[in-house]
Amino acid sequence: MKVPQLKKKTELKSCHNTNWEDDYSWVHQPNILEVLKDSSKLDPEVRKYLEEENNYTEHHLKDTKGIQKTLFDEIKGRIKLNDESIPFKDRKYEYWTRTTSKGNYSIKLRKKIGTDLIEEYWNGDEEKKKLNTEYFGVGDIEVSYNDKILGYSLDLKGSEYYTIYLRDIETNKIIFEKRTGFT
């Protein structure tokens, strides 16, 4: 299989009184944020090259599939899947995180200081299931200063183009949603 070659298209560049030739700057798309939202807007030549590169890699690494799985299982076997972080005290609540062997995403918990009532205010696996999406990237998760609003960001395409959500913790209702750029 032939090594993929990206076509050279020389452009003259200049910055700080220095000039140079750049053979590959044509790959940069000025509408990159649009491309990240909608991959069909990717330059067809760039798409073709990326697909050839992926096929080349897949072809040359196909005989390593077994060792890749062995290494993945070895790494995964060293991770404590059922775990909890140490709680930290805020003004009114103690907050902590739990991971389980059943899920891929963390569970965020809290309890009012002086009580034993534990409240689950975020469960990544349930959120992914509710959104019915193949890709689910969690950005930041924060509780407001007054402990009433949960703010979080999600990437549902793998493009690092996040949507920010604000949710009322008590009612679990979304009160704000906004698409953003990169985080």
Domain ranges of the chain: 11-77, 83-179
Q: Encoding tokens for residue 24?
A: 């590959």
Separation of alpha carbons 85 and 80, rounded Å: 12
State whether residue 175 is helix, strand or coil: strand
Beta strands in 3-116 (DSSP E): 11-15, 18-22, 83-84, 88-89, 93-99, 107-112
Q: Residues of the chain with pLDDT > 70: what percent? A: 98
Q: What is the pLDDT of residues 33-49, one digit of tens each?
A: 888 888 899 999 999 99
Q: Encoding tokens for residue 56?
A: 């080349």
Give me the pLDDT at residue 105, please: 94
Tokens 């990237």 correspond to: 137
Which pTM does this prediction carry? 0.68
Give me the pLDDT at residue 33, please: 82
Give me the pLDDT at residue 147, please: 96
90: amino acid identity, one letter? D
94: amino acid identity, one letter? E
Q: What is the pLDDT of residues 10-35, one digit of tens each?
A: 999 999 999 999 999 999 999 888 88
* Regions of the chain where pLDDT drops below 50: 183
